Amino acid sequence: MNDKNNIDILISEVGPRDGLQSVNAAMPTELKKQWLTALADAGLQEIEVGSFVSPKLLPQMADAAELVAHLRQRQDVFVTALVPNLKGAQAAFMAGVQKITMPISVSEPHSLANIRKTHEQVYEEVSSVVALRNERFPHVEIESGLSTVFGCTIQGEVPEYDVIRMALRMVELGVDEVGLADTVGYANPAQVRRLFTRLRSEIGAKAGSAHFHNTRGQGLANVVAALDAGVTIIDASQGGLGGCPYAPGASGNIVTEDLVYLLESMGLRTGVDIDKLVAAREWLKQGLPGEPLYGFIPDAGVGKNFHYAGGAR
Ligand code: ZN
């Protein structure tokens, strides 16, 4: 996808999912649509619009199908959604998503606490989702988002071998991509470089996105380490909104605005216009009044010596 669209790094905007599911207030659907449009207009080429979960569990996500339909009207953005199980996958496929991400905890205690499933039960779920995709929705991509891979609030240490074994299992089960997520903000750059390098050597081009939370301020340092390890897809959230609602104390995704500045400054094309991206925050402020938004670039602006990678836009 990256070459085709004249970019070096694909930023996958997860604010509409990871961000909105972690706040208690529900953003009105019409404002969500305006926000999604503004994000796509800013040049973001992949957006995770929501989560196909029971509205009883997460009422903020009840409009996911409507948001998929809204964004599918345009050709310049890849529409993805989070899906925890077969039922969610079915709904997401029917709604017209182009890719689903299935979160899977490498830490089994976290998996049990989070979705009440053992690893064996998770494997069965993934198999049935892959079977459904293969049979009826062959064009939809499936990514396994391995979570708690850099550590877990329940289990503490998560052995790297467990992460690799799980990634290999996912590939065996037929998923297209395996991403790694620092669900609770425990990762450090040395660990990130090591684990992504190992992942790439084990599953090659099926190694997917890096998902970092900035809970302990290591987010952008971890991004640089992931780049060193050859990662080309990075998740981020506008205003740093988000975090995992099930991991106590975990909050704050890395901020998309700051990530675009980092990457473009380093000479890596993202396709994103920083001014338009910062302007998109207005929809978020309107939709979630009083919700704190993070980021350095929206406050400080870009430096006087800043220029976009590959020339001005
Ligand atoms: Zn997250």
Q: How far is the CA of 215 from the centre of ligand 1 (A)?
A: 11
Global pTM reads: 0.95
Given a cut of 70, the residues of the chain with pLDDT beneath it are: 1-4, 243-251, 312-313
Q: How many domains does the chain have?
A: 1
Kindly report, residue by residue over 246-278, the tens digit of the pLDDT. 555 545 899 999 999 999 999 999 999 999 999
**CATH number of the structural domain spanning residue 230:** 3.20.20.70
Q: How far is the CA of 19 from the centre of ligand 1 (A)?
A: 8
Q: What are phi and psi of 90, to 5 degrees?
A: -60, -45
Q: How far is the CA of 313 from the centre of ligand 1 (A)?
A: 30
Whether 123 maps to a domain, the answer reads yes
With CA atoms as reference, report the closest residue to 215 among 195, 246, 192, 242.
Answer: 242
- What the block records as the tokens of 272 is 């994103």
With CA atoms as reference, report the closest residue to 238 among 23, 62, 3, 75.
Answer: 23
Q: How far is the CA of 62 from the centre of ligand 1 (A)?
A: 19
Whether 305 maps to a domain, the answer reads no
Q: How far is the CA of 311 from the centre of ligand 1 (A)?
A: 32
List, as ranges, residues with CB under 5 A of the ion ligand 1. Answer: 18
Give pLDDT, residue 312. Answer: 59
Whether 122 maps to a domain, the answer reads yes
Is residue 239 left, alpha or beta, with left meaning phi > 0 and alpha meaning psi from -120 to 50? Answer: left
Q: How far is the CA of 312 from the centre of ligand 1 (A)?
A: 32
**How far is residue 207's CA from residue 223's CA, in Å, rounded to a whole number?**
15
Residue with token string 């049935």 = 128
Give pLDDT, residue 23. Answer: 86
Whether 307 maps to a domain, the answer reads no
Q: How far is the CA of 51 from the centre of ligand 1 (A)?
A: 12
Q: How far is the CA of 252 from the centre of ligand 1 (A)?
A: 8
Residues noted as catalytic: 244
SS3 75: coil
Determine the structural domain holding residue 251 and report its residue range.
10-300
Give pLDDT, residue 5. Answer: 74
Whether 3 maps to a domain, the answer reads no
Give pLDDT, residue 1. Answer: 44
Kindly report, residue by residue over 148-174, the tens digit of the pLDDT. 999 988 889 999 999 999 999 999 999
Whether 311 maps to a domain, the answer reads no
Whether 204 maps to a domain, the answer reads yes
Give pLDDT, residue 307. Answer: 95
Q: What are the contacts of 197-205 at 24+ separation with CB within 8 A?
A: 197/229, 197/230, 198/160, 198/164, 199/163, 199/164, 199/167, 200/229, 200/230, 202/164, 202/167, 202/168, 203/167, 203/168, 203/171, 203/178
* 157, burial (CB in 10 Å: exposed 0-12, middle 13-18, buried 19+): exposed
